[in-house]
Amino acid sequence: MVHMTQRIAAAGARKHFASLVKQSARGERIKITRYNKTAVVLIPKRDLEALEDCEKESAAQKKTG
């Protein structure tokens, strides 16, 4: 699956936060920048769940490894 990634400055994100949340919920990853460097990222819930699953698998492998 291809994910679209949008970059937006923190000041703009503050003004358009509700819209950015809706976009992220629809599957878009949004990088919020400060001083032209990524500070935080809004990701869809399914992406977070996938990351959490990877963390659980990694922790389980470390216990058995």
Please state, in angstroms and rounded to a whole number, the distance separating the CA atoms of residues 28 and 44: 7
**CA–CA separation, 60 and 23 (whole Å):** 33
- What residue spans define the domains of the chain? 5-64
Sign of CA dihedral 37, 2, 55, 62: negative
Q: Is the pTM of this model over 0.85?
A: no
Please give the average pLDDT of every successive group of 10 residues along the chain, which has 65 residues: 82 97 96 97 96 94 84
pLDDT of residue 64: 85
47 and 22 Cβ atoms separated by less than 8 Å:
no
Q: Give the pLDDT confidence score for residue 27 in this predicted structure.
A: 94
pLDDT at 2: 57
Q: Which fold has domain 5-64?
A: YefM-like fold (3.40.1620)
